Amino acid sequence: MTIGGWRGLLQGREGELLLDLVFVFVLTRFSQRLIEDFTTDRQVVLPEVGQTVLLLLALWMIWVHAAWVTSRVEPEQPVTQLLIVWTMFGSMIIAVTLPHAFGARGLLFAITYVAIQIGKPVILLIARRDRERHNPLRRLWWATASAVPWLAGAALFPQSPGRGALWTLAVAVDHAGLVSGWPVPGLGRTRAADWRRAGEYLAERYQQLIVITIGETILLTGATFADEFTPDRVAPSTLSFATAVLMWRIYFHRAGTVFVTAVQVAPHADRLSKSAYYTQLVMVAGILAAGVGYALVIREPGGHQNPVWLAVILGGPALFLAGRSCLEYEVFARLSPSRLLGLVALAAATPALLHRAPLFAAATATAVLAGVATWDAIGERRHPGEAPSPPR
């Protein structure tokens, strides 16, 4: 293909492809941290997992906020490319700090996060001289407000629950600002029309993020398998790869494929865009948890079952199916029986798997997802080409 052909294929958004590749590294580092939460000998695991979930919310905000900002500017403009490069570099530093964000590298994590979030509206304010300057001004106001607990938590509480409390407040401020449209007295808030325009773009970006998240689980599978290439790791590695393929198949079955169209035809596109913000987050969390669960099984395929491990081996696919059920409702105003039955099957299998080897739990999760995908394939042949019909 010619260079012009590639540019036509990417529609001038090759910078976003680079950002997504950086986020593969970010998600891999996140998964490594989560694996450490479940394998390091600690008295209490739940606080460590809670910290990791908090970091995931921060990563989600970085990615979504970058996608929102770039949805409002032309991809080939220098300011857009600068925004992407700024986010890419900051995300790389964030990834480096992730395993020790609640330890020695916490201050660097907080400074980098704040720099990313404040830097983007500042760049836009410098570049823009039109009446739309109030949009980056609102985002700058909210980013500055959340910067206080981010930096205070890192600087004043090196290793204590105080850091977690302040960072939880900071994440809450960031997410509340985005969902509410960054309201600021005298500057207004994001309009419904802006949500529609951004929502169509975000729908495409969500699809891309799901793909790279699934790709990250395959990368994690291969890396874990390669650490110790032994026969007993073949089966769990195969199950992990099959699960990644099944999640890809389930996500893009109908609702995932026509999600962009659903935003375009929705009578209240702003509501659909806001609900998708949470739905996609749940699915991303489920995919990451599933990948971590299978990586644990690959490391110890014949070991004794750990109830905490079971929470990610089965909980990851369950989160994914729950999020996918919500997506189905957002697009078609109905719930798919296959996903609900899959959730019931995972819950019903949990007691029987509490004292079995981790490999049995992994095989069960894969079998349930295979059943959901098979149900979808049968339904596709019976009712092809269903059009989106979002709730009114």
pLDDT band at 46 (very low <50, low <70, confident <90, very high): low
Calculate mean pLDDT across residues 369-383: 82
pLDDT of residue 192: 58
Amino acid at 285: A
Q: What is the mean pLDDT of the chain?
A: 84
Q: What is the pLDDT of residues 79-121, one digit of tens each?
A: 888 888 999 999 999 999 998 898 889 999 999 999 999 999 8
Taking 90 as the threshold, does the pLDDT of residue 366 lie above it? yes
Calculate mean pLDDT across residues 59-70: 88
Taking 50 as the threshold, does the pLDDT of residue 2 lie above it? no
Taking 50 as the threshold, does the pLDDT of residue 1 lie above it? no
Q: What is the pLDDT of residues 229-285, one digit of tens each?
A: 888 899 999 999 999 999 999 998 877 677 777 777 776 767 777 788 889 999 999
pLDDT of residue 388: 56
Lowest mean pLDDT among 37-51, 120-134, 148-162: 37-51
Lowest mean pLDDT among 57-61, 192-196, 253-257: 192-196
Lowest mean pLDDT among 3-7, 10-14, 34-38, 107-111: 3-7
pLDDT of residue 263: 74
Say if CB 246 and CB 369 are below 8 A apart: yes
Q: What is the pLDDT of residues 305-348, one digit of tens each?
A: 678 888 899 999 999 999 999 988 888 778 888 899 999 999 99
Residue bearing the bigger pLDDT, 132 or 114: 114
pLDDT band at 304 (very low <50, low <70, confident <90, very high): low
Percentage of residues in the chain having pLDDT higher than 70: 86
Taking 90 as the threshold, does the pLDDT of residue 45 lie above it? no
Say if CB 131 and CB 149 are below 8 A apart: no
pLDDT band at 383 (very low <50, low <70, confident <90, very high): low
Q: What is the pLDDT of residues 20-34, one digit of tens each?
A: 899 999 999 999 988
Taking 70 as the threshold, does the pLDDT of residue 370 lie above it? yes
pLDDT of residue 183: 86
Calculate mean pLDDT across residues 148-173: 90
Taking 50 as the threshold, does the pLDDT of residue 179 lie above it? yes
Calculate mean pLDDT across residues 165-179: 92
**Measured distance CA(307)–CA(345) in Å, rounded:** 18
pLDDT of residue 3: 44
**Measured distance CA(30)–CA(59) in Å, rounded:** 9
